[in-house]
Amino acid sequence: NTAYLNGEFLPLAEARVPVMDRGFLFGDGVYEVIPVYSRRPFRLAEHLRRLAASLAAIRLEVPLADAEWTHIIERIVAAAEFQDQSVYLQVTRGPMAVRNHAFPAVATPTVFVMTEPLVTPPAELREHGIAAVSAADNRWHRCDIKATSLLANCLLRQRAVDHGCAETVLFRDGFLIEGAASNIFAVKDGVLLAPIKNHLMLPGITYDVVLELAAQHGLPTQVRDVLEDEARNADELWMTSSTKEVLPIVMLDDRKVGAGGTPGPAFKQMYGWYQQFKASVMR
Ligand code: PMP
Our answer on whether the CB atom of 171 is closer than 6 Å to any ligand 1 atom is no
Burial (Cβ within 10 Å: 0-12, 13-18, ≥19) of residue 189: exposed
Phi-psi region of 189 (alpha: psi -120 to 50; beta: other; left: phi over 0): left
Share of the chain above pLDDT 70, in %: 100
* 141-168 tens-digit pLDDT: 999 999 999 999 999 999 999 999 999 9
- Judged against a pLDDT cut of 80, whether residue 283 lies above it is answered with no
Average pLDDT, integer, range 62-74: 98
Domains of the chain are 2-117 (3.30.470.10), 123-282 (3.20.10.10)
Share of the chain above pLDDT 90, in %: 98
24-29 contact pairs (CB < 8 A, 24+): 24/92, 25/96, 25/99, 26/93, 26/101, 26/149, 27/147, 27/148, 27/149, 27/150, 27/151, 28/58, 28/92, 28/93, 28/148, 28/149, 29/58, 29/90, 29/91, 29/92, 29/93, 29/110, 29/147, 29/148
Average pLDDT, integer, range 93-100: 98
pLDDT value of position 87: 98
Which residues 6+ apart lie within 8 Å of 165 measured at CB? 130, 131, 132, 133, 251
- Judged against a pLDDT cut of 90, whether residue 281 lies above it is answered with no
Q: Tell me the CA–centroid distance for residue 11 and ligand 1, in Å.
A: 27
| Ligand 1 pocket, mutate which of 242, 243, 246, 270 (most atoms under 8 A from CB) | 242
Our answer on whether the CB atom of 205 is closer than 6 Å to any ligand 1 atom is yes
Is there a catalytic annotation at residue 268? no
Query: How wide is the angle at C-alpha 174 spanned by C-alphas 207 and 135, nearest 5°?
Result: 75
Confidence of residue 260 (pLDDT cuts 50, 70, 90): confident
Q: Tell me the CA–centroid distance for residue 42 and ligand 1, in Å.
A: 14
d(CA 4, CA 12): 8
Q: Tell me the CA–centroid distance for residue 181 and ligand 1, in Å.
A: 5
Question: Quick one: which atom of ligand 1 is closest to the CA of 206?
Answer: 14
Our answer on whether the CB atom of 193 is closer than 6 Å to any ligand 1 atom is no
Question: Quick one: which atom of ligand 1 is closest to the CA of 201?
Answer: 1
CB neighbourhood size of 106 (10 A) = 6
Confidence of residue 119 (pLDDT cuts 50, 70, 90): very high
